[in-house]
A and B are shown apart, each in its own frame.
Chain A
Amino acid sequence: MTKILVIAEHLGGKLNGSTARAVSAAAAVKPDAIDVIVLSDAPEAVAAEAAKIDGVSKVLTVARTENAHSLAAIYAPQIVKAAAGYTHVFAPSTTFGKDLAPRVAALLGVSQVSDVMTVEGPHTFKRPIYAGNAIVTVEVDASSIVVATIRTASWPAAASNGSAPIEAISVDAALPSHTRFVELQQGKSDRPDLQGAPKVVSGGRGVGSKENFEIIYKFADKIGAAVGASRAAVDAGYVPNEMQVGQTGKIIAPELYIAVGISGAIQHLTGIKDAGTIVAINKDGEAPIFEIADIGLVGDLFKILPDLEASLG
């Protein structure tokens, strides 16, 4: 019997979209059950959202004051206890899942399958290595519990028409006090979330300054897109680091990706390879970004972006 436990990611009482993507990957295993576990100090609202995800059999909640913040050292021993009876434990391959899942895996005595792109069978998966320049097929021993993180860009979010039952459970796990949450500093943004947005406009070093980045925001707002950036733009201080797209930043797969003033280093291309349509706007016709762009336009971004806005009316 194949039973998958999916660890819900949430923040500020809201379920993160990455959870429904991990459920999609779980469904591809064709298991007998997919249960979602929500650890929180007040899990009700998040659990209600998780219960709506199509394919979810049951939502388990663990309400403890220690679970107010997602600290891996606190969550992991509870997940390990809750994982008894499950054949698979899945978490999204976000900073939340990457922090937590290996800690869970080590306590269970197994290695982890990182960044699952496709499910070939209950114990066979494909994942990227070398910044996405090779795809490997990995097989987990059939007798081992499978702990995996799910590459969110490879999976659509499962729809939310379901109504799974919610069950409060208590797990008997001793929790450490050696790790404490202090604060979360968030870059404020009213724009769509970078990882879930169907359209993304990114700026690179070519944008030139923090002030010049306004032209990127303005164009993105015009077409309803999220805004991303290359590492060069982040390092230069044009934008905060949570906007970085690439091997060490966010890996995204929007329907439309517009790269403006980005040359296209291997590490950046890794983050956007699975985008539906890639558009490159760059004044250097030899920039590597044009090798993978579906539509390329050579020219000065400061002239092209206003022209684009004008063409859109």
Chain B
Amino acid sequence: MKILVGYKRVVDYNVRIQVKPDGTGVVTDGVKLSANPFDDIALEEALRLREKGVADEVVVVGIGPADLTAHLRNGLAMGANRAIHVQTADAVSPLTAARTLLKLVEKEQPGLVILGKQAIDDDANQTGQMLAALWDRPQATFAGKVEIADGKAKVTREVDAGLEVIEADLPAVITTDLRLNEPRFIKLPDIMKAKSKPIDVIELGSLGVETADHIKTTHYAAPPKRSKGVMVKDAAELVAALKQKGLL
């Protein structure tokens, strides 16, 4: 079985982002970029399934500008067999991303697609569900545990009410939650090896994807600042302060 893994590049999760004063976006020039943390988890899960003999090939897919190729090399160094870089200079909406992934799914015929549950830049949490809908296949979102056997995936999902277990026939789309696994670190020799692994570069325009851009972002703003707080010196003072606010 082949597993396709979505591998988005985002502003590193440790960076405190700044909104541009003119409201046209956030500052990304010179800011550290990394793999979306949920996508590292997705790739790790795919690699573990390959190590268990469930899968024989892991392909990482990225959609983005020309310099994204270097980022995909990180996925190859982590252990993916090969990469597909769908090249576009424009930011794509989750629906366009899902339609693009569907084209690759039709071409590659994977048994499983694993994506992160959300990208930490747009926080949309849509692409996996949309791909599953367009592909007319099962989705198992917010996966905390994945077991594959007999053409089926048994997935434990992290839902508000607790843990929900569902069973899905393959092929299917799984989106990863934080607790699914602990992604491995990239080792130096693997970085060298990754240089010889293949990366297919495809122009987004050549895939015949209908781009969806009917939602436009018109303004960016910093969140409202909370007013400066006060420090109290002991429990009695804290209780008094809360009582004064009518909270206790």
Contacts and interface: CB of A to CB of B under 8 A. Distances in A.
Query: Are A and B co-members of a single complex?
Result: yes
Interface of A: 11, 71-73, 76, 94-96, 98-107, 109-115, 124, 128-141, 144, 176, 178-187, 195, 199, 223, 231, 234-235, 240-242, 247-248, 250, 255-256, 266-267, 273, 276-279, 290, 292-299, 304, 307-308, 310-312
Contact of B132 (A73, A135, A312): A73
B26 A130 contact: yes
B187 interface: no
Interface string B64-90: 000000000000000000000000000
Contacts of A71: 166
Of A129, A185, A235, A278, most buried by chain B (CB within 10 Å of CB) is A129
B109 interface: no
B144 interface: yes
B132 A103 contact: yes
A104 B122 CA distance: 19
A231 B29 CA distance: 30
Contacts of A94: 160
Contact of A311 (B26, B117, B120, B235): B235
A10 to B, nearest CB: 11
A186 B141 CA distance: 18
22 contacts: A73-B139, A99-B141, A100-B129, A103-B129, A105-B130, A110-B95, A124-B218, A136-B220, A138-B216, A176-B136, A178-B138, A183-B164, A184-B163, A186-B161, A248-B177, A256-B242, A279-B242, A292-B229, A294-B227, A295-B230, A297-B235, A310-B235
B245 A277 contact: yes
A73 B138 contact: yes
Interface in B158-180: 158-169, 172, 177-179
B154 A182 contact: yes
Given A113-B215, A176-B136, A185-B165, A135 B223 contact: yes
B186 interface: no
A-B pairs with the 8 shortest C-beta distances?
A307-B235, A102-B129, A106-B130, A106-B133, A102-B126, A186-B162, A182-B165, A141-B214
A311 B132 contact: no
B216 A139 contact: yes
Given A72-B139, A106-B95, A180-B167, A134 B133 contact: no
B242 A102 contact: no
A256 B247 contact: yes
B121 A178 contact: no
A56 B136 CA distance: 33
Chain B interface residue number, banded = 35 or more
A183 B165 contact: yes
B161 A266 contact: no
B236 interface: yes
Given A105-B130, A242-B160, A308-B239, A178 B137 contact: yes
B52 interface: no
B129 A99 contact: yes
A107 B133 contact: yes
A295 B229 contact: yes
Contacts of A234: 179
A241 B161 contact: no
Interface stretch (B9-17, B42-50, B55-63): B9-17
A137 B219 contact: yes
A257 B125 CA distance: 26
Nearest to B14: A266
B231 interface: yes
A250 B160 CA distance: 8
Nearest to B144: A241
Nearest to A104: B133
Nearest to A224: B248
Nearest to B159: A95
A102 B122 contact: no
Given A103-B130, A106-B129, A131-B123, A294 B229 contact: yes
Contacts of B192: none
B107 to A, nearest CB: 19
B206 interface: no
B201 interface: no
Contacts of B144: 241
Nearest to A186: B162
B166 A130 contact: no
A68 to B, nearest CB: 13
Contact of A102 (B130, B164, B172, B247): B130
A181 B122 CA distance: 30
A255 B230 contact: no
Given A134-B223, A141-B215, 12 more contacts: A73-B132, A103-B139, A106-B129, A106-B131, A111-B212, A134-B26, A184-B163, A241-B158, A242-B159, A248-B178, A292-B226, A296-B230
